[in-house]
Each structure stands twice: as C-alpha cells, then as structure tokens.
Amino acid sequence: MDKDLKNKTISQLQEIIIAFGGKAYQGPVAFNFIHQKFARSLDEFTTLKKDLRASLVSGGYFLSNLKVAEKLCDPDGTEKYLFTLSDGNNIETVLLRESDRNTICISCQVGCKLGCKFCATGFLKFQRDLTAGEIVDQVIKIAADAGKINNIVFMGMGEPMYNYDNCLKAVWILTDPKGLNIGIRKQTISTCGLPDGIRALAEEDIYPRLAVSLHAASDTLRKKLMPIASKHPMAELVSAMRYYQQKTSRRITIEYCMIKCLNDSLSDAQALAALLRPLRANVNLIEYNPHPGCDFQGSSSRAIKAFKDTLMQSGVETIVRYRRGRNIKAACGQLGADRIKK
C-alpha cells in the first residue's frame, strides 16, 4: 500500500487523517504544508497535534523527498537539476527562466521505452514509472529553490501516456488552489503520439494543454525517427487528435525537430501543412540538439526559416524554439545524454 503523503490528493489526505482520528479540515491543512510550505517531514505539520502526527508515522506514513544530486547552470539562464529518487535512480528536470515567468520541464519516467532516434533519453534503459508524488516533487523542490513556477511541461524524460494515471494525478495535485495552484492552461502534456492516451485525455474532467511530437509528415519518415510510428500510423494519430479537439475545443501544439537533410525540406513543410489542415494546431520548430550515439545534424538557420515561412504561408501558426540549455545538455532531446556511455 502506498503510504507516501506527497502522492495524495486533498480528499485522500482527508480520508487518511480521519482514519487516524483527526478531523476532515486537517486534510487541506496537511496538503498545504506539503505543497505550499514545502514540508519535508511530518514533524513540520506543526498545526496538527503531535499525537496525530505520531500515529501517522507509526502507521507507516511518510513524505518522500527527491534529493538534488547536482544542479547545472547554463550561461543562457537555463538550469538543470539532477534528482536522485529513493531507490537510487536519477532523473533530470529543467528550469527555464524568463523575465516574467519560470517554466519547468518535468520527467515522468526513469528512462523511456520509446527510443526516439533524436532523443538521448530514448537511449537509456527504461527503469520505472515515477509516482505522482515524485512528479510533483520536482516542482516543489525547484519552487523552493527558484521561486514561483508559472508553467509546467511534461516534456522531460519518459512518455506521459505510458504513465497516464500518475501524470493525471500529478496534474490534479499541481492545479489545486491549496497547493502550488498552477492553472490547467499552464500545464502541457507532451506525447510522442499515442492515440489511446490522446483519446483518454479527451474524456477527462480536466484538460491540460496537449503537445504532440510529430517530427515528420509521412509514415515512412516518421518510422525512421520514432519506432512507435510503426505501431500507430499517422492516420490513426490524426484521427485521435481530431477527436480530442472535437471534445475539448483546444488547440494542439505540434513539436517538430528540425534535422538536416532528413525532414527539413520545403516539400516536408508543405506535407506537414496539408496534414494539419483538418486540425487547429500550431507548430513549434525545435532545433535538433546533438547527443552521443546519434549522428544527426541540426538544420541550418536558413532551412528552419524557409520551413517556418512555408508553414505560415499555408496558415499554420509556427514558432521556432531556439536552443536553450545546450551547454549543460538540458535542451530538448538531451536529457540523460551524460549517462548514455555509462
């Protein structure tokens, strides 16, 4: 049975506290200690009676804590945290500071099963899913260190749709006004395109933003970059995205990594524009970031601009996400790159 209180919603905390003789109102109090006051142990729940805290501890309840094993700072302002989990596994989380907001890119698994060719994490062996508490704790630890977090993107290590329940639970916990209170429109779930997960998300009572990593406009090319494309053809993926939009009326972000002489021609851009025509989608063009084990090269600035212009002329809103955090291997596709050789 899971006894980590960081892994609980307010109503779950309430149930536990009532079961130990406490009052219902103490559930939100405990939640507030964990998610706003960043308590590290039950000893810090100072407004809960000592004997209630003691009986929770003797009942096996505890607060898990990620340990900051390393923090790297890029001169461009990006920071990367290497966290150690209670079982000794490591994950990476990135903080992107901008003048008016802090965004963090969080991980949801240790390693990844999907093996996308342009992504360092895909070269690491999959170890396990993170709990909702471990997902949320990345935000807590960085908020405690760096101040208010405004945006969260589930774009770190792992595929959120393969750890669906824990990611959704984390979204609920992060959204709660008695906790970190991060608005649902400020949270983005990014998937490599798992149609079942996209359809499931459309049925939820809460809609984080959805980003889909596409990286190619044809099945043939996509299969070269992302093994998952062999299992889920483009037509199935587009159909799931359409379903999501019919249910939620939400715009979808398409992530597209620009790789030299592979997916960056004008005909690729035209094919992408045609593919997205039935959707309300905007495109983020990402400069390919190198890592060991992969000999792709990033597209030239000129190719990226021409690609963007073609999409824009076709009516597809497009932005270029310039590399950030590359010096500390914190840019898109680089998480875990330091551990590939090991």
Catalytic residues: 92, 332
Tokens of 35: 């998610």
Q: HSE (CB half, 13 Å, CA atoms) of 334?
A: 19
Binding of ligand SF4 by 119 (CB under 6 A) = yes
Tokens of 99: 């003048």
Q: Strand, helix or coil at 30?
A: helix
Binding of ligand SF4 by 161 (CB under 6 A) = no
Quote the least distance from Cβ 165 to ligand SF4, whole Å.
18
Quote the least distance from Cβ 132 to ligand SF4, whole Å.
19
Binding of ligand SF4 by 286 (CB under 6 A) = no
Q: How many residues are there in the chain? A: 342
Find out whether 10 and 31 touch, Cβ atoms under 8 Å: yes
Specify the pairing of strand 109-110 against strand 151-154: unpaired
Residue (of 271, 108, 122) closest to 190 by Cα position: 108
Binding of ligand SF4 by 112 (CB under 6 A) = yes
Binding of ligand SF4 by 121 (CB under 6 A) = yes
Find out whether 309 and 318 touch, Cβ atoms under 8 Å: no
CA angle 281, 185, 209 (to 5 degrees): 40
Binding of ligand SF4 by 91 (CB under 6 A) = no
Binding of ligand SF4 by 122 (CB under 6 A) = yes
Type of residue numbered 237: L
Nearer to ligand SF4, 22 or 193 (CB): 193
Binding of ligand SF4 by 157 (CB under 6 A) = yes
Nearer to ligand SF4, 116 or 201 (CB): 116
Binding of ligand SF4 by 331 (CB under 6 A) = no
Binding of ligand SF4 by 158 (CB under 6 A) = yes
Find out whether 68 and 82 touch, Cβ atoms under 8 Å: yes
Interface with ligand SF4 by CB under 6 A: which range of 86-94, 113-121, 198-206, 259-267?
113-121
Nearer to ligand SF4, 115 or 233 (CB): 115
Residue 304: Cβ within 10 Å count: 19
Interface with ligand SF4 by CB under 6 A: which range of 11-19, 51-59, 152-160, 198-206?
152-160
Site residues (vs ligand SF4, CB under 6 A): 112, 114-116, 119, 121-122, 157-159, 192, 213
